[in-house]
């Protein structure tokens, strides 16, 4: 009994130590970015490891604050995150509910075609031509409509809907409820953990939108925040290598301050949804 108790305490100790080490390794890059963003250039380049700031300066943030393009990109990112998540959730929920019905004509074929896209896609050029023909180049719709449904999220949502007892839907039908009423009054209220989880997946994906913006957006008025960040990093590097005296010579401070500005909003929202993660994904993994 004593040996068992010692083994359990030893395991707990090693487990906590390992998890603490992983947490430190995971959080350090963020901490390093924060420290460098408030540290003068000469101090930030003096050491490759930054545990605390010797001198604090907000010059990088003050410079970014005055950039009109930053706030334009912020508005675009907020728009595509909010509206894009709503569009994606609406499309994913309706598609998953329909595909969860075993009596759906051609349901298996449709599901196979959807899963097939996880392994093979049409390619960048066909996607670009489709977006161009639809007239969505240089518009926020190019970052929301083409990728409105992500296959992985659709599969999770469909599996969750399948796990809901059919008896509940049958009872609702007896009471005169149609399919849309069943979805709104029974399925969705029971699926809040999964909906919250998938919503966060979509929101983070939309907030980090970069590749589609590079492909479809050339007008700076429609740049999302991540594309602005890329521009800042490129301009900063070019200015630094040329030895000029522009504000970009704040160097690493500008880079890290821009990264912090684009990261903090997601970090502020994440804790409110994090508790749904395990429950939502686990319930979505129930076998048919």
pLDDT tens figures, 126-135:
889 999 999 8
Helix residue spans in the chain (DSSP H):
2-37, 41-44, 59-65, 68-99, 107-119, 124-133, 151-163, 166-174, 179-182, 188-190, 192-207, 211-216, 225-242, 252-283
Q: Do 139 and 30 fall into the same domain?
A: no
The answer, yes or no, to whether residue 91 has pLDDT greater than 70, is yes
Q: Band the pLDDT of 115: cuts 50, 70, 90.
A: confident
pTM: 0.78
Name the least confident of 43-57, 239-253, 259-273. 239-253
Q: Do 134 and 14 fall into the same domain?
A: no
Residue 283: which residues within 8 A CB-CB, separation 6 or more? 160, 163, 193, 194
Q: Do 121 and 4 fall into the same domain?
A: no
CATH code assigned at 104: 1.10.3720.10
* CA–centroid distance for 288 within its chain: 28
Q: Do 92 and 225 fall into the same domain?
A: yes
Q: Do 278 and 258 fall into the same domain?
A: yes
The per-residue pLDDT for range 9-53, each reduced to its tens digit, is 888 888 899 999 998 888 888 888 888 888 776 666 656 666 677
Count of domains forming the chain:
2
Q: Do 87 and 113 fall into the same domain?
A: yes
pLDDT average, residue stretch 256-283: 72
At residue 243, φ and ψ (nearest 5 deg) are 75, 20
Among candidate residues 39, 57, 75, the one where a domain is terminated: 57
| DSSP 8-class letter at 165 | -
> The domain containing residue 217 runs over which residues?
67-283
The per-residue pLDDT for range 177-210, each reduced to its tens digit, is 888 888 888 888 888 888 888 888 898 889 888 8
Q: Do 115 and 207 fall into the same domain?
A: yes
Q: Do 46 and 104 fall into the same domain?
A: no
Q: Is residue 288 part of a domain?
A: no
Q: Is residue 250 part of a domain?
A: yes
Give the chain's mean pLDDT.
Answer: 81
d(CA 74, CA 233): 17
Q: Do 148 and 269 fall into the same domain?
A: yes
Q: Do 102 and 238 fall into the same domain?
A: yes
Residue 59: which residues within 8 A CB-CB, separation 6 or more? 40, 250, 253
Would you state the pLDDT for residue 89? 94
Q: Which tokens sit at 260?
A: 């912090």
């Amino acid at each position: 009994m004593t040996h068992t108790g010692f083994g359990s305490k030893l395991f707990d100790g090693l487990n906590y130590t390992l998890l603490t080490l992983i947490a430190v390794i995971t959080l350090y890059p963020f901490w390093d970015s924060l420290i460098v963003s408030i540290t003068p250039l000469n101090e930030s380049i003096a050491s490759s490891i930054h545990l605390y700031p010797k001198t604090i300066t907000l010059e990088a943030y003050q410079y970014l604050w005055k950039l009109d393009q930053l706030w334009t990109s912020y508005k675009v990112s907020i728009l595509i995150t909010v509206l894009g998540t709503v569009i994606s959730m609406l499309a994913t929920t309706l598609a998953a509910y329909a595909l969860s019905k075993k009596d759906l004509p051609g349901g298996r074929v449709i599901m196979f075609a959807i899963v097939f896209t996880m392994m093979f896609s049409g390619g960048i050029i066909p996607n670009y031509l489709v977006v161009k023909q639809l007239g969505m180049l240089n518009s926020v719709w190019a970052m929301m409509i083409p990728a409105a449904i992500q296959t992985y999220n659709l599969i999770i949502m469909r599996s969750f809907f399948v796990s809901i007892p059919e008896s509940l839907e049958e009872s609702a039908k007896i009471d005169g409820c149609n399919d849309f009423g069943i979805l709104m009054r029974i399925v969705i209220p029971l699926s809040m953990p999964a909906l919250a989880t998938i919503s966060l997946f979509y929101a983070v994906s939309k907030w980090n939108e970069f590749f589609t913006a590079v492909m479809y957006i050339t007008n700076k008025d429609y740049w999302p925040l991540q594309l602005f960040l890329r521009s800042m990093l490129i301009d900063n590097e070019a200015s630094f290598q040329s030895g000029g005296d522009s504000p970009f010579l704040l160097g690493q401070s500008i880079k890290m301050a821009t990264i912090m500005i684009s990261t903090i909003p997601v970090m502020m929202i994440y804790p409110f949804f994090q508790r749904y993660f395990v429950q939502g994904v686990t319930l979505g993994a129930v076998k048919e």
